[in-house]
């Protein structure tokens, strides 16, 4: 049955957990935004596209923010209770630290189960949306920005120069437009003393409403005739430019669905089995590829007959080489044919080796992603087992000391996780070892901290270090005397 003490600890934890989780998520999203800000600013992206990108990217950051939020909230919760002597009162009532941690541990296990479902079902969809949208935004063209006194060639087949541009951003003067749409150079030229830049309501076109200008058209004449030049004066003329190339074009999302980040556990398992079967086929097919060039590897009658003729025991010494046995008239032809066969065999083996390496790399990536689906849940429980006894030991609440210690432990955990993942992807260790490396190394530390907290250890208090220093200085003083 749930007791009042269990409700107290749950209420004390849920508030800091929600706050720290969203603060951590916000920091991670801002880190992403600053990372890609240079590639996104200046392209005239709409607010809705930016909001979509930040929403999907914040969803993909949940697996990183959730463990850190649990670690920080657990340190703050137990630190506040230790600072207010609530832990002392609970222990004096005969309630052990493990019994006190039990309701929160069950709650964290429940959070970890939800984290697995989220990581398995929501993250692949969010990755698909976020990465495809980020790809389109990064590859989109910058927005049209015509500056005074500079030629602008952002619009295909046109070079535009504006001598002056008023503060309203629309009125322009001394306009020069080179038209290269014919592909024959500067055959068409437009000069105007002034005008206005007017975008269409749907932002699909840009209209240059020019006044008091000239249009020049120098087209090539027929064979044997000189070029023709046409000059036309206009009092008012509209030049329409198509801006469809500046709009963000969305790539078909089906092109990204085969990436390992966009798959759940069942899809990853199926793809891993497929890659394993393909690797076996590649190894078994090497003899088939080399059979036409190396008779002993052939599975046909010639290969079997040659194997029967081979001596059962190895021969270590020959009176003459194979080339010396061949007739002089055929020696050159045989050596050329053998060299050609070796080159063909080498080419086939090289292609097979490259194919095998590509499939091996894909196998490692898919296997790493499969283990990542489960490491999130265990990371939540692990960091809680570290944070709860840490809070009971340091006995400090708020965002001071708990924040420093939480960030330090999370940085260590994150670095170890990244190191293990890179080792797994390069094949230095198996994916299982690489992805569970951080958990395996920090789990003993969690048990040590729990034991220290049960014994009311003071390793994180200032008085403990002062006592240790006094002892060391006293021993040093006696030796000096």
Closest CA to 218 of 247, 185, 173: 185
DSSP per residue, 289-345? HHTTT-GGG--SHHHHHHHHHS-SS-----SS-HHHHS-HHHHHHHHHHHHHHHHHH
Q: What angle do CA 137, 200, 202 make, to 5 degrees?
A: 50
Question: What is the 8-class DSSP label of residue 198?
Answer: E
The contacts of residue 384 (CB under 8 Å, 6+ apart) are 70, 71, 74, 104, 105, 108
SS3 at position 148? strand
Q: Count of CB atoms within 10 A of residue 174's CB? A: 16
Residue 400 has pLDDT above 80, yes or no: no
pLDDT at 246: 63
Q: Give the domain ranges of the chain.
A: 151-246
Residue 1 has pLDDT above 50, yes or no: no
* 115-138: pLDDT as tens digits: 899 988 888 888 888 888 877 776
**What CA–CA distance (Å, rounded) separates 36 from 47?**
16
Closest CA to 76 of 373, 354, 387: 387
Which structure tokens are listed for 142?
A: 């910058």
CA 259 to chain centre: 11
79-100: average pLDDT: 78
CA 173 to chain centre: 47
Whether the CB-CB separation of 290 and 346 falls below 8 Å is answered with no
CA distances (Å), origin 272, targets 182, 365, 366? 53, 9, 6
* 401-452: pLDDT as tens digits: 667 777 888 888 888 888 998 998 888 888 899 899 888 888 888 888 888 8
Whether the CB-CB separation of 223 and 184 falls below 8 Å is answered with no
SS3 at position 205? strand
Helical pair 401-425 and 437-454, crossing angle rounded to 10 deg? 150
* 277-307: pLDDT as tens digits: 888 887 777 767 776 666 555 555 655 555 5
């Amino acid at each position: 049955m749930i007791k009042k003490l269990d409700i107290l600890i749950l209420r004390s934890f849920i508030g800091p957990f929600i706050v720290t989780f969203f603060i951590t998520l916000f920091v991670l999203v801002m880190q992403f935004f600053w990372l890609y800000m240079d590639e996104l600013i200046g392209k005239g992206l709409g607010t809705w596209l930016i909001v979509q990108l930040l929403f999907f990217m914040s969803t993909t950051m949940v697996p990183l923010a959730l463990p850190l939020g649990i670690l920080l909230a657990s340190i703050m919760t137990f630190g506040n209770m230790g600072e207010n002597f609530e832990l002392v009162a609970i222990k004096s009532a005969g309630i052990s630290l493990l019994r006190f941690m039990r309701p929160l541990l069950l709650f964290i296990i429940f959070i970890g189960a939800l984290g697995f479902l989220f990581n398995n079902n929501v993250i692949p969809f969010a990755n698909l949306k976020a990465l495809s949208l980020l790809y389109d935004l990064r590859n989109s063209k910058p927005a049209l920005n015509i500056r005074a006194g500079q030629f602008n060639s952002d619009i295909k087949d046109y070079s535009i120069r504006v001598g002056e541009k008023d503060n309203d951003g629309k009125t322009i003067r001394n306009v020069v437009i080179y038209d290269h749409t014919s592909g024959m150079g500067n055959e068409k030229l437009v000069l105007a003393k002034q005008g206005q830049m007017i975008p269409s309501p749907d932002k699909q076109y840009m209209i240059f409403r020019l006044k008091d200008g000239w249009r020049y058209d120098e087209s090539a004449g027929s064979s044997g005739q000189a070029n023709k030049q046409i000059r036309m004066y206009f009092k008012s003329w509209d030049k329409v430019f198509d801006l469809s190339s500046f709009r963000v074009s969305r790539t078909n999302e089906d092109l990204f669905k085969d990436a390992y980040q966009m798959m759940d556990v069942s899809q990853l398992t199926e793809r891993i089995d497929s890659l394993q079967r393909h690797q076996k086929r590649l190894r078994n097919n090497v003899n088939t590829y080399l059979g036409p060039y190396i008779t002993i590897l052939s599975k046909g009658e010639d290969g079997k007959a040659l194997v029967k003729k081979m001596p059962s025991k190895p021969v270590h010494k020959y009176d003459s080489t194979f080339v010396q046995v061949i007739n002089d008239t055929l020696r050159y032809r045989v050596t050329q044919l053998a060299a050609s066969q070796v080159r063909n065999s080498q080419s086939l083996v090289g292609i097979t080796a490259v194919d095998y390496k590509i499939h091996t790399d894909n196998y490692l990536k898919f296997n790493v992603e499969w283990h990542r689906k489960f490491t999130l849940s265990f990371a939540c429980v692990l960091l809680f087992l570290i944070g709860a006894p840490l809070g009971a030991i340091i006995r400090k609440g708020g965002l001071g000391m708990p924040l420093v210690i939480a960030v330090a432990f999370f940085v260590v955990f994150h670095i170890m996780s990244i190191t293990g993942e890179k080792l797994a992807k390069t094949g230095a260790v198996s994916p299982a070892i690489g992805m569970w490396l951080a958990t395996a190394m920090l789990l003993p530390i969690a048990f040590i901290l729990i034991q220290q907290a049960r014994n009311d250890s003071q390793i994180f208090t200032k008085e403990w270090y002062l006592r240790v220093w006094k002892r060391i200085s006293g021993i040093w003083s006696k030796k000096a005397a």
